[in-house]
Structure 1
Amino acid sequence: MKLFLIILAGLILEVFVWIGVGDLVGSMWYVFFWFIAAFFIGMNLIRKYSAGIMPQMQQMQMGQMSADPALSNNLPKIFAGFLLLIPGLITDVLAVLIMIPGVQNAFKAAMMKAMMKRQQAMMNQMMGGMMGDMNGMGGGAQGQNPFADLMRQMQDMQNQQAGRDSTIIDGEAREVTPEAKKIEMKDVNKH
């Protein structure tokens, strides 16, 4: 209900701004032509910056955070393009403001914070469903979360990943020698 009232108030405000600007410039046709131009500019922004980021968006939605700079740099521009698609002068001004680099950085920081919070909520929901009553299922007398250390490590990794390069993989390497298998010909010639 709250969202509906906000959208309704924004729509009414947009109409009043349209009428005011139309009176100021002398004709509503100028405002109409601006809406058409803004629509095509928004389409081009979305088309240009959204190429190739859909798999990354799906990973983020599934809860796998990706600190890919291309994704975080392009999302504010895609959002600005979306705002330009909406016919309205207020949304167009917001889109132009989002295209300013300083505003983009603030937008990216807020967006990453929201994504981290969403991912943490998803993890808590997943782990809360697995926990249940651990005393009856062999979880120990204390009923402690057996995944607490794993969750803490994952959270530490996320916090570190925000400032690190996500293309570096830490791990150990060891040489493995495969066992050679011999093919026997005893079954081949019995036809």
Structure 2
Amino acid sequence: MKLFLIVLVGLILEVFVWIGVGDLVGSMWYVFFWFVAAFFIGMNLIRKYSAGLMPQMQQMQMGQMSGDPALTNNLPKILAGFFLLIPGLITDVLALLILIPGVQNTFKNVMMKTMAKRQQAMMDKMMGGMMGNMNGMGGDAQGQNPFADLMRQMQDMQQGGSQRRDSSIIDGEAREVTPEAKKIEMKDVKK
């Protein structure tokens, strides 16, 4: 409900700013052409900086990647492009502010702290749920979490991974098996 009210108030403010700037400039057509130009500039920014964004974001959320500089440098520019896509002068001013390098650095720092907190909360929730389920089960086969090893590996990677294990190694035994040669017997065959 809060988000709806914020969007509604923002929309009303945008309309008043449109009207005010249109009166100040002398024609609403100038404002309209600015919206069209800003739309294409925003689309170009998003297209340019979002190549390969989703796989990198997914890796960051899973804790496999600790903040690729290319990704953290591109996210503020993509957000600025998104704000330019929205028709409005207030959002365009916000986009221009985001494109300032000092604001980008602040945005990157806040974004990385937020991502780290979300990762930690996710790990705590997963590990807490895993430990809570195992306490009352007595350690039998039904009480074991099938993802326990994966969770330990993810936590090791997040904490620095001092004792990294290779997940491609499978422990086991091998024994040589000789196939039994079966012969086809010809029974009851008329010659």
- TM-score normalized by the length of structure 2: 0.73
Task: Note the residue ranges of structure 1 that are not aligned, 5 or more in a row.
Answer: 140-145, 159-169, 173-183
The answer for the alignment partner of 1:24 in structure 2 is: 24
- Residue 95 in structure 1 maps to residue 95 in structure 2: yes
- List runs of 5+ in structure 2 lacking aligned partners: 140-147, 167-177, 185-191
Aligned counterpart, 2:78: 78
Deviant stretches of 4+, over 4 Å: 146-155
When residues 155 and 57 of structure 1 are mapped into structure 2, their CA distance, relative to the original with a 3 A threshold, is closer
The amino acid of 1:49's aligned partner reads Y
Q: Do residues 157 (structure 1) and 160 (structure 2) align?
A: yes
CA-CA distance at 1:15 after TM superposition: 0.7
Q: Is the 8 A contact 2:39 2:85 kept in 1?
A: yes
Residue in 2 that maps onto 1:51: 51
Q: Distance in 2 between matches of 1:37 and 1:6?
A: 26
Matches of 2:159 and 2:60 in 1, distance apart? 18
Q: Residues 140-159 of structure 1: CA distance to partner in whole angstroms, max 9, x if unpaired?
A: xxxxxx9999787555329x
Per-residue CA shift, 1:78-119, capped at 9, x if unaligned? 010000000000100110111111110000001111111111
The answer to whether the 8 A contact 1:63-1:122 is kept is no
Q: Does 1:42 align with 2:45?
A: no
C-alpha separation between the residues in 2 aligned to 1:149 and 1:62?
A: 13
**TM superposition score normalised by structure 1:** 0.73
What's the secondary structure of 2:129's corresponding residue? helix
Distance 1:112 1:32 in 2: 37
Residue 123 of structure 1 aligns to a residue whose secondary structure is helix
On the 8 A contact 1:56/1:71 being kept in 2, the answer is yes
> Secondary structure, in 3 states, of the residue corresponding to 2:16?
helix
What's the secondary structure of 1:132's corresponding residue? Answer: helix
Q: How much has 1:54 moved relative to structure 2?
A: 2.1
Distance in 2 (CA, whole Å) between partners of 1:171 and 1:2 is 46
Aligned to 1:121: 121
1:59 & 1:107 partners in 2: Cα distance?
A: 20
Return the alpha-carbon distance in structure 1 between the equivalents of residues 61 and 154 of structure 2.
19
1:9-68 deviation per Cα after TM superposition (whole angstroms, max 9, x unaligned): 111111111111000000000000000000000000000001122211222344544321
Paired-residue identity, %: 78
Check whether the contact 2:60–2:67 (CA below 8 A) recurs between aligned residues.
Answer: no
Q: Deviations over 1:116-144 (max 9, x none)?
A: 111111111111221115443346xxxxx
- Name the structure 2 match of 1:179: none
